[in-house]
Amino acid sequence: MSKSRFRIAVLAGDGIGVEVMAAALEVVETLAEHVGGMGFDMLPVVGGARAYTETGQALSETAWEDAEAADAILFGAMGLPDVRYPDGTEIQPQLDLRARLDLYAGVRPVRSIPGLPSPLADVRAADIDFTIVREQTEGIFWSYGRGKREGNQVAEDTIRVSRPATERIVDFAQATALKRKGAGRPGKLTLVDKANVLGSMAFMRQIFEERSKRKPELRSEATYIDAAALGLVKKPWDYDVIVTENQFGDILSDIGAALIGGMGFAPSADIGDDHALFQPCHGSAPDIMGTGKANPTAMLLSAAMMLDWLGERHGHAKTSEAARVLEDAVRATYAATGLVPFELGGRAGTAEITKAVKQQITGR
Residues engaged in binding ligand ATP (CB under 6 A): 16, 79, 263-264, 282-285, 287-288, 294-295, 298, 343
Q: 330 near 301, Cβ under 8 Å?
A: yes
Nearer to ligand ATP, 132 or 285 (CB): 285
Nearer to ligand ATP, 222 or 298 (CB): 298
Residues 6+ apart with CB under 8 A from 7: 40, 41, 43, 69, 70, 71
Which among 42, 58, 47 is positioned nearest to 17, based on CA atoms? 47
Task: Determine the number of helices (DSSP H) and then strands (DSSP E) in the chain.
Answer: 11, 12
Residues 345/348/354/360 CA torsion (nearest 10 deg): -100
Nearer to ligand ATP, 284 or 333 (CB): 284
Nearer to ligand ATP, 241 or 303 (CB): 303
We find the least distance from the C-beta atom of residue 68 to ligand ATP, in angstroms, to be 23
Q: 213 near 240, Cβ under 8 Å?
A: no
**Cα–Cα dist 224/204, whole Å:** 12
Residue 89: half-sphere exposure toward Cβ, Cα within 13 Å: 8
**Cα–Cα dist 249/102, whole Å:** 17
We find the least distance from the C-beta atom of residue 319 to ligand ATP, in angstroms, to be 25
Which among 231, 235, 283, 232 is positioned nearest to 253, based on CA atoms? 232
We find the least distance from the C-beta atom of residue 355 to ligand ATP, in angstroms, to be 16
Q: 42 near 29, Cβ under 8 Å?
A: no
**Cα–Cα dist 236/227, whole Å:** 12
Nearer to ligand ATP, 32 or 80 (CB): 80
**CB-based closest residue to ligand ATP:** 283
Nearer to ligand ATP, 212 or 268 (CB): 268
Nearer to ligand ATP, 101 or 298 (CB): 298
We find the least distance from the C-beta atom of residue 290 to ligand ATP, in angstroms, to be 13
> DSSP code of 14?
S
**Cα–Cα dist 9/258, whole Å:** 29
**Cα–Cα dist 61/41, whole Å:** 20
We find the least distance from the C-beta atom of residue 308 to ligand ATP, in angstroms, to be 21
Nearer to ligand ATP, 263 or 332 (CB): 263
We find the least distance from the C-beta atom of residue 300 to ligand ATP, in angstroms, to be 11
We find the least distance from the C-beta atom of residue 60 to ligand ATP, in angstroms, to be 21
Which among 191, 190, 348, 184 is positioned nearest to 261, based on CA atoms? 348
We find the least distance from the C-beta atom of residue 244 to ligand ATP, in angstroms, to be 19
Which among 283, 335, 260, 223 is positioned nearest to 109, based on CA atoms? 260
Nearer to ligand ATP, 72 or 353 (CB): 353
Nearer to ligand ATP, 81 or 199 (CB): 81
We find the least distance from the C-beta atom of residue 265 to ligand ATP, in angstroms, to be 8
Name 40's bridge partners.
6
**Cα–Cα dist 353/138, whole Å:** 37
We find the least distance from the C-beta atom of residue 239 to ligand ATP, in angstroms, to be 23
